[in-house]
Amino acid sequence: MKNPFGNGDDDDNQNMIPIPPNYATITNPETGEIRIAKVGFSFTSLLFNIWPSAFRGDWYNLLCMFGVQIIVLMAFLMWSSIPLASIEAIADLIFRIVWGFLYNLMYFRHKFNQGYVPADDRSRQLLTEANYLKSSN
């Protein structure tokens, strides 16, 4: 099967799954588990707020994101006289944008802390260029 995204040598990687150019593959050498995820802005977090972390089974980041949202909302309610419905609508939009920019970074960093490493040179280069991975790793 010809790789439609044109990354990698098709002759050497006959069984390779075609991966879009902005996706990186990471693997855990101890368990052999492989993860493929997007590098860059998370449109799923923009659309679904904290739920993409639940879809990926990323419970650590789900709880972190939920905790940040609750703490910020509670702090704002303590010092504001604006009704809850107004605050919640504005905060939801702001959090969706913030998580859109940060979630994929949080996901990869957490996976690196769990022992995952880039599966190939292309993924390593992509993660390093996006500052998800330090160049010394």
CA distance 83 to 68: 20
Domain presence at residue 68: yes
Query: What is the total count of domains within the chain?
Result: 1
Q: Is residue 58 part of a domain?
A: yes
Instruction: Quote the domain boundaries for residue 102.
Output: 45-129
E-assigned strand segments in the chain: 23-27, 34-38, 117-118
Residue 108 counted as domain residue: yes
Cβ atoms of residues 117 and 127 within 8 Å: no
Residue 32 lies in a domain: no
Instruction: Answer whether residue 3 is part of any domain.
Output: no
**In which residue ranges of the chain is pLDDT below 70?**
1-16, 136-137
Amino acid in the structure at residue 126:
L
Q: Is residue 106 part of a domain?
A: yes
Is residue 93 a part of any domain in this protein? yes
